[in-house]
A and B are shown apart, each in its own frame.
Chain A
Amino acid sequence: MRIRITFSKLEAMRFTGHLDLFRSWERTFRRSGLPLAYSQGFHPQPRLNLACALPLGFTSDCEILDVWLEDVIDLQQINREISEVLPPGLEIHDVKIIDDQFPALQTQVASAVYVITFLDNIPDLCDRLLRIESSEHLLRKRRDKTYDLRSLIEQMACLPVSEDGNQKLRIRLSARESATGRPEELLDEMGIKFESTRVYREMIIFNC
């Protein structure tokens, strides 16, 4: 049985990396007693699949995990049994059945929407944004490979200043397997230190 779980990754969990998150899920399933399926072979691995890695320090309410279980189990029961044993910082929003033949989750992701909160006031935020938007190319290097950051930015918009007085920015970046835009690289391009912001993933957009 293949199920798809939509979940939040918040609080202390935001500093749990991709691989450690897999382990947290494996432990969650072991605590729940639900029959998590494992791969065949000499080193069986739990059959867990995450849509796309959330960089360290980001929070999110839209993380997506595909899980294979050995038996067919009622969705409500799954939801209940997992929710009871989740570690602080993970919350389940939705559990649904997915056709086992559906393509792998990662190949389906098209883009991701982020909301960036600025902890310090940036008077010329709009100007900086405009400079990015009006650029035709933003050539950068990632692991010695040159890429064009501008082509990975799909949308950008300033949000009204929130109640706590912080400026906010919503951006939509490409999140295809071979072309992933990273908010921290955009921030760097804007001359803003990543640690003076909070980044929240609001939505993952799929191909179909």
Chain B
Amino acid sequence: MVVTPADIQIKLERILPTVQKPGRYTGGELNQVIKPWDSVDVHIALVFPDIYDIGMSNLGLAILYELINQRSDALAERGYVPWIDMEAEMRRTGIPLFSLESKHPLNTFDILGFSLPYETLYTNVLNALDLAGIPMASKDRNETYPLIIAGGHATFNPEPMYKFVDVFVIGEGEQIIHEIIDTYQAWKSSISSRLELLVNLSSIPGLYVPSLYQVKYKSDQTIDRHEQLNEQANYPIIKRIVPHLPPPPTHFIVPNIETVHNRIPVEIMRGCTRGCRFCHAGMVSRPVRERSVNEIIQAIDESLKNTGFEEIGLLSLSSSDYTHITELVKTVTEKYCGKHLGISLPSLRIDSFSVDIMEFLKDSRYGGFTLAPEAATEHMRNIINKPVSTTQLLETAHQIYSRGWTTIKLYFMIGHPSETLQDVEAIADLCKAVLLQGHHAIGHRAKLNVGISTFIPKAHTPFQWVSCDTVDQILAKQDILKRELRHREIKLSWTDQKVTLLEAWLSRGDRRLADVVFRAWQNGAKFDAWQDQLKFDAWTNAFAFYQIEPSFYSHRERKSDEVFPWDHINTGVRKKYLLQDFQLSLEPQIRSDCRKQCYACGILPMYADLRRENPGDAWSCPEVKSPPKIAGRKTPV
């Protein structure tokens, strides 16, 4: 039975008044784009596999929405998964998952593009496909079903989702999206098989079509090798990057209801040169490329006019490292001070310079000051390559308290490689020392918020060889902190160890986990990223059903020559480099900011042609001096 947008509208009429926050499902916001359905060839639904409130703040999809809708031959609309109450109503009344703009059922689109920034969204993807009436397994979908693509940071290890997603976008989407649309369009008019479409896509640099590869395992369950099943398919699959950041989006959709971030997000730079060894984003988003102050200011101006948002977020992985940070902050302050705007600048280094910078931005709406030392001793910070001296940290804390902030937020991780209970006790001691600085500066008005997350060794990082803490270890460490930091002026929060475990399994999972993901969804798992929704039993039962031992993924130290499930995905950073960096962590020896000295991580040779074409300050990597190679070699663009 075909459900039309009009059918959906009529049914929604009666359902919306009965559910929580119906504004999640209406669309109709300022700046949404609705094109006549038949005026374009390619219809794309951009889907964030969580609720509207969260998905609306996703910058990646906002970028793609604007880029696709600028084309005259394609349209992009939005889809989100409904909250539990709405899902029940939709299933009861037979409403398939639909797009907010035109209310078309998602199965009538040509392409569904899922954003997968983190692993705990996987079951929601399956739920979304089910709600849309689309077969979940890629092999069960013929030409009449939409092409399912997915991108985002989690897809740097796509294997646990290989059965469900037709095409993974590895890396940055700004250019590749156009190549996907063009290829799709050519295929659509050619009336050929779906396999042909997949094969055509599989040779576009940065695209991974999992059904065109097979994995061979060893007797110990580790991987022997990845093999192409089709000669055209990329091997390895090299991360796609844009040589310089395109103009940022400025026509953000303005929600009519509260969402998690109500702000204009402006990416001031992409990538990070710090090389913290636990940091997935820092490794996979290299090289560093910056936007000019002019371009940023222009984007803020236009976005303010277009949206009227009350906050501007200047986003990057390490704001203090943005070359023109002082100039940027001064200009922003001069232009927007006194206009009742909040300006946020996350990810600052722990030093007095950061306090100077933030003082510029102090407006009526500032909250606490956030620092992320991640570990409490200098020794441990050297292991994770986030060196900062304790003296400097305390000095910075003192300055923050004495210059007007009453609350400091400190972020730590427990479970770092070789961490002992003494290292965890040191976290408590350091927190108390920081608060003491507050007492010295402003007495008992000083407050401290402490956020404790648990380290997960992520794929493509120097720590990908190490094992996670066991549940007992995690709980023992959390107990120390709960006991030691029971204090009127300290607010402690931590991550549930179950969420940590699930993320650990999925982020280093192989193809065998696809069945587990499916089974977990069948067992009722969804909204796994929500601590209060996570059905841990659904997962452990799914592992048991397939007789897969989950600790194989989370609690196993890998040999240095092990082939990883994600080894066919190439981020540009060499595996040898990561191993070398891991070995340095054992000494521990640090590697300082690679702007000062190139450590040859592999990015430069991989993208030498791009760098050669974009000389100067656009990249933080050194210039390429060698002449371009003439023929033969496959380049990433």
Contacts and interface: CB of A to CB of B under 8 A. Distances in A.
Interface of A: 11-13, 15-17, 19-20, 23-24, 26-31, 33, 38, 42-44, 46, 56-57, 85, 87-89, 119, 194-196, 198
Contacts of A89: 28, 256
Given A15-B257, A31-B306, A88 B29 contact: yes
A146 to B, nearest CB: 26
Nearest to B339: A30
Given A17-B257, A23-B310, A33-B305, 20 more contacts: A11-B26, A12-B29, A13-B28, A15-B22, A15-B256, A15-B257, A16-B23, A20-B256, A20-B257, A20-B258, A24-B254, A24-B256, A26-B308, A26-B310, A27-B254, A27-B308, A87-B29, A89-B28, A194-B17, A195-B17
Interface of B: 13-18, 21-23, 26-30, 254, 256-258, 262, 304-310, 340, 364-365
Contacts of A194: 17
Nearest to A87: B30
A12 B365 CA distance: 30
Contacts of B306: 31
B5 to A, nearest CB: 15
Q: Closest 5 CB pairs between A and B? A: A12-B28, A27-B308, A30-B308, A31-B308, A87-B30
A77 to B, nearest CB: 17
Contacts of B15: 195
A88 B30 contact: yes
Contacts of B308: 26-31, 85
Nearest to B31: A87
A27 B257 contact: no
B472 to A, nearest CB: 45
Among B23, B256, B257, B262, the one with the most A-chain Cβ atoms within 10 Å of its Cβ is B256
Among A15, A26, A38, A56, the one with the most B-chain Cβ atoms within 10 Å of its Cβ is A15
Contact of A31 (B18, B21, B307): B307
A16 B257 contact: yes
A16 B309 CA distance: 16
A46 B341 CA distance: 12
Nearest to A26: B310
Nearest to A88: B28
A195 B18 CA distance: 7
B405 to A, nearest CB: 14
Contact of A27 (B14, B16, B27, B310): B310
B30 A30 contact: no
A38 B340 contact: yes
Nearest to A29: B308
B235 to A, nearest CB: 47
Given A13-B256, A43-B364, A119 B14 contact: yes
Contacts of B254: 24, 27, 87
A102 B340 CA distance: 27
Contacts of B21: 15
Given A16-B23, A20-B258, A119-B13, A11 B28 contact: yes
The SS class assigned to the A binding surface is: helix
Contact of B340 (A15, A31, A46, A85): A46
Given A12-B256, A15-B257, A88-B28, A30 B23 contact: no
Contacts of B29: 12, 87-88
Given A27-B307, A31-B306, A12 B23 contact: yes
Contacts of A42: 364
B508 to A, nearest CB: 41
B89 to A, nearest CB: 10
18 contacts: A12-B27, A12-B28, A13-B28, A15-B21, A15-B22, A15-B256, A16-B256, A20-B257, A24-B254, A26-B308, A27-B309, A31-B304, A38-B340, A44-B364, A56-B17, A57-B17, A87-B29, A88-B30
A33 B304 CA distance: 10
Given A57-B17, A119-B13, A15 B310 contact: no
A15 B307 contact: no
Contacts of B305: 31, 33
Contact of B23 (A15, A44, A85, A195): A15
A27 B256 CA distance: 10
A80 to B, nearest CB: 16
Nearest to A194: B17
B22 A56 contact: yes
Contacts of B258: 19-20, 23
Contacts of A85: 308
A20 B254 CA distance: 12
Contacts of B340: 38, 44, 46
Contacts of B304: 30-31
B310 to A, nearest CB: 7
B16 A15 contact: yes
A185 to B, nearest CB: 14
A50 to B, nearest CB: 15
Nearest to A31: B308
B306 to A, nearest CB: 7
A64 B27 CA distance: 24
A27 B259 CA distance: 15
Among A42, A87, A119, the one with the most B-chain Cβ atoms within 10 Å of its Cβ is A87
A119 B258 CA distance: 30
Contacts of A12: 23, 26-29, 256
A20 B23 CA distance: 10
Nearest to B340: A38
A77 B306 CA distance: 19
B476 to A, nearest CB: 42
Nearest to B256: A16
A15 B340 CA distance: 26
A23 B364 CA distance: 17
A23 B262 CA distance: 10
B212 to A, nearest CB: 43
Contacts of B365: 43
A30 B257 contact: no
A16 B254 CA distance: 12
Contacts of B16: 15, 57, 195
A190 to B, nearest CB: 16
A26 B340 CA distance: 10
A38 B310 CA distance: 13
A99 B515 CA distance: 69
Contacts of A119: 13-14
A19 B15 CA distance: 23
Contacts of A20: 23, 256-258
A87 B256 contact: yes
Contacts of B18: 195
Contacts of A30: 304, 308-310
